[in-house]
Amino acid sequence: MLGVSTLRSPSSSSKADQHCGGFVGDHHVVFPTSGGGSDCCDGFAMVDVDDNLLDYIDFSCDVPFFDADGDILPDLEVDPTELLAEFSSTPPPDDLLLDTVSPAAVHVDDEAANNKPPVVPDDDVKQQQLAVMTTVAQEEKRLLEEQTCGDEKHVAASKQTTEEDSCAGAAVSDTKPSASASAEGHSKKKPAPGKNSHGKRKVDWTPELHRRFVQAVEQLGIDKAVPSRILEIMGMDDCLTRHNIASHLQKYRSHRKHLMAREAEAATWAQKRHMYAAAAAGGGVAPRTDAPHASRPWVVPTTTFGFPPPAPPPFCRPLHVWGHPPHAAAADAAAAAAAAVAAPPAPTAMLPVWPRHLAPPRPLPPWAHPPAVDPAFWHQQYNAARKWGPQAAAVTQGTPCVPPPAAAMLPRFPVPGMVPHPIYRPAMVPPPPPPPPPSSKLAELQLELDTHPSKESIDAAIGDVLVKPWLPLPLGLKPPSLDSVMSELHKQGVPSIPPAAATATG
DNA sequence: CGCTCAATAT
DNA sequence: GATATTGAGC
């Protein structure tokens, strides 16, 4: 069932640690430590799921947005490629450069992107602004078409043949400058670079183009979005074909499905975190830095529980096309409604975003048996970074390599009542007892995950194993058994929670 | 016309 | 090897 065999080798990991130059998962991100009595949530951001979560959740975002002080790097928040496309003649609005993450700041829509002042205008001003917006929109479209269709469109406008031919260069940023047009069409074996066997250029889905696409999809609603209508709304039928849209839509839905699964996963973590919080509030103890076991790798001094509750994941701004930036959300109410349909509200009001790769790479214990993170993800990220990644390169080069805090050596499943998913456990461990009957949404989720873990949830869980900042466990160290952890907790006076109560209390 | 799937191209 | 495109079949 599970292809859980490979794991990141210590050598490659240490290599990445040294150089920190690779784009894929090789960054070190400074996570707040749980020591010193600081709140482990510091430096993390929560996301209001009332906004379209999928607009800015990108669990695969590769770029750390935290510097050595744990601050979000504001100048890396915006994709320069998009800025270039959208604000080629104007500087980006200030509110696109986010210093802090707040729902208001996060939700930067097209109005903000168009520099429209966020005030309620009177009718005259409104009409003027409408005209301006229309002009801006038209201009934006013109610029986009110029950008995406290329000059070829204008050259071939008079000898228009087919719509594919006329602007087949759609969004092509040819990365092979050696490919000359003169060589085109001579060989039937090998079509010219960037073109397929039919002479049609491959559509390069730039972030901006994708943003348009997503906007159209959201406007229509994910269920009613069909290629023809999307194409109609995008208004780029001279650059794209229905097949292009259909293909992209297919991929988009696939990715969306993936994200939804991860969203659900994040929701369960939010629920679990509430459990931790509730348990800590009920039976918390003072930090015991002088505890006899404090030097043991998996006993870390913390404020309350002996183990830190699951911290909300750091906010991660999406940068590649599948995780378009927030302002890609449609500006009007209809689009917002469609977006709401596209991203149904999660069980909790605040939902953590959990980019799996934001943690520093670290070796994993042999017993974990995690598979490699979906290689498709990394490859895509890598390619996206190469294609659109000035920001990625900048971040990569400028990101300090900070080793993970040594103090964050924790037990993996130390929480009373929490039964780790089977994939977390050693392979030879006998199967767990059947879960209790679902008495709550969380219990249902737990049951669902335990009994029918989807590929996505498995992937997500594996990703969690790989990156959970409080879960580093060096090679050679065996994790403590649940019993030993419980015993330790008992010594510290932490009351245990019956499993049923733990899963039933949301 | 749109979807899924598979083959193919890049 | 991943992704985009394309065609077949429905």
- A54 pLDDT exceeds 70? no
Q: How many CB atoms lie within 10 A of CB A429?
A: 11
Please tell me the number of Cα atoms within 13 Å of A250 on its side-chain side: 5
Q: Which residue reads 């290599």 in tokens?
A: A15
Q: What percentage of residues in chain A have a pLDDT greater than 90?
A: 0
Rounded to an integer, the average pLDDT of A37-63 is 37
The reply to whether A375 has its C-beta less than 7 Å from any atom of strand C is yes
- A324 pLDDT exceeds 50? no
Rounded to an integer, the average pLDDT of A162-171 is 36
Q: How confident is the model at residue A143 (pLDDT cuts 50, 70, 90)?
A: low
Calculate the CA A459 to chain-centre distance.
13
Mean pLDDT of chain A: 48
The reply to whether A251 has its C-beta less than 7 Å from any atom of strand B is no
More confident residue, A232 or A201: A232
The reply to whether A484 has its C-beta less than 7 Å from any atom of strand C is no
State residue A471's pLDDT score: 37
Ordered by where they begin, the domains of chain A are: 204-274 (1.10.10.60)
Distance CA A61, CA A318 (A): 6
The reply to whether A15 has its C-beta less than 7 Å from any atom of strand C is no
**CA/C1' separation A74–C6 (Å):** 42
State residue A207's pLDDT score: 78
Residue A111, Cβ density class (10 Å: 0-12 exposed, 13-18 middle, ≥19 buried): middle
State residue A466's pLDDT score: 37
- A203 pLDDT exceeds 70? yes
- Find out whether A323 and A61 touch, Cβ atoms under 8 Å: yes
State residue A231's pLDDT score: 82
Distance CA A25, CA A62 (A): 6
- Tokens representing A211 are 């943003």
Distance CA A271, CA A340 (A): 22
**CA/C1' separation A257–B4 (Å):** 16
The reply to whether A221 has its C-beta less than 7 Å from any atom of strand B is no
Q: How confident is the model at residue A245 (pLDDT cuts 50, 70, 90)?
A: confident
Rounded to an integer, the average pLDDT of A209-223 is 82
The reply to whether A135 has its C-beta less than 7 Å from any atom of strand B is no
